[in-house]
Structure 1
């Protein structure tokens, strides 16, 4: 069983996005179920973020199905960044955003988490 945690900035991201996308909480529960079975990166759905200078596995999920974005399926544009600690069986959600709101993940936030 994998334990899921969220950092404070992620919680703020979620709170903002759930107002816009009403099904987001349920959609993320589905993502969690998938991550319990397949926590590593799986292109084209998710990619490891390299060149961060941290030894832990940081992954960006690019294809999240969101029921609030009808007709988009997994191409909803939502992005989730998380750290996966394999030995501890733990996933920490770091960032959640829509690709129209920002182009890339916040590398500074990721590095701050590992400080």
Structure 2
């Protein structure tokens, strides 16, 4: 399984890493999980529907972050990625904190995968 990051995702990661120091390490743990099971697994993650694109876009809504102690996987951090099953590739699209933004940026998804 290969992993790629869109430029906007890299900006998201850089911005949030300043506030949450362990975020890069926490993302590496998420990558280990996705290598084994990249498909959507409610309630951990779910597929974002209604986009009208071929790739499977998934939102991880339960991502643990050690910088937010005592909250476990209910940190409020969200990761959006596209899974290309045939190519065995995952492209990270967006990373955000739920307290600052309610939903994923559908325009960003469509801009890069449509």
Check whether TM > 0.5: yes
Q: SS where residue 16 of structure 2 aligns?
A: helix
Gapped runs of 5+ residues in structure 2?
none
Give CA deviations for 1:27-71 in whole Å, capped at 9, x if unaligned: 000000000000000000000000001011000000000000000
Q: 1:89 and 2:96 equivalent? A: no
Q: Which residue of 2 aligns with 1:4?
A: 3
Q: Which residue of 2 aligns with 1:79?
A: 78
Q: 1:63 and 2:65 equivalent? A: no
Tell me how large the CA RMSD over aligned residues is.
Answer: 0.5
Q: 1:14 and 2:13 equivalent? A: yes
Paired residues, number? 114
Give CA deviations for 1:49-96 in whole Å, capped at 9, x if unaligned: 000010110000000000000000000000000000000000000000
Gapped runs of 5+ residues in structure 1?
none
Aligned partners of 2:23 and 2:81: how far apart in 1?
17
**After the TM superposition, which segments of 4 or more aligned residues of structure 1 sit over 6 Å from their partners?**
none
Aligned partners of 2:14 and 2:29: how far apart in 1?
18
